[in-house]
A and B are shown apart, each in its own frame.
Chain A
């Protein structure tokens, strides 16, 4: 009998949240092992044995160690009994389409989002200098990706990606990515997302379809969001930027 599934995760990481939500939603029995990126746990010898690429999420299931969140989601869909078909359809055509969104995601939505947030909020919080050029480049990719979601991927009769009536692992992965934008300042986040009405509706629909697990797994992100907001107000009040202070007080 295969041992219990172990999921190595940091809930501040978007792909980790997608895997955790998927497991909870589908009643998969697993042990969550916290790997705190901000404390560099991912670089430890123990974790490197689980994932030599030193990234989360990673899983251990019996003899299998696996990393890359999409590969994990696909594996879990196939390896556990009773998972509803809409998550990763067995129909070859439908499955291929889900795969194409998952492929597109890496260099588009994820790339844009990660680099934008990193160069405007998360990087400075970790004491790194702001990089307006990189932020501008990332924003271009992010906006282009949102536009493609709005006009191409969300075309169709259903409310989910590829016109589906129920969410797939692609919906879960991409919406977890977009939720990371919560750490931006409200004006900025609104500016970026508000033109995309379908995208906004889809984020809500995916959250609803995966609650209460979605909200639970995002709690740490909402807390971080609050901290960043407080820091921003303090800076606004004091009128100066104190990057050292941010670094020490940051939960990141």
Chain B
């Protein structure tokens, strides 16, 4: 009876999902689960709002992250801090300080002097972008900004070398100081290249590792050359 009425009503204008009203869940099958949506989040990072904290805390948190990455560069172990939590503050600070320290030599800008600030800046950032693109085009699995972050942070040993070179040049500028500078720059160049290779080489296909490492070698070699040939006025 009910089915006859149902079919007559259905024949006139059958709405969508009309048959679903007939569906009933048998009592034999237990239905379980929560249907309430949890309101508060459970992850610890979102438990506090960073808007109310003092400015010093905000700055110190970022500074500590940058400092932790500096330590990871100087002692390159297999850690994912550089890769996973990438940031570009460290590279920016290093690049600006290196470019500033490379100024002040051969102030007669009309002749062929050392690199200008903009030239150092462009070389470091454009070089890092080109190397990242190269590794991605060769089939690497690292993300763009992670690779920029690693390459930028691994300029740290060379910045230390630049500092040492400037201090040595304050003392003397003869052959002995040149040899000291050469040894320091070469050691830091090797350290930079090894550190960045340790972080970046794993994400490359195995038979193309040398193709990816060579541009990194060239990049740090050029920066080392700029540091070594710095002559104060």
Q: Do A and B bind each other?
A: no
B residues within 8 Å of A by Cβ?
none
A residues within 8 Å of B by Cβ?
none
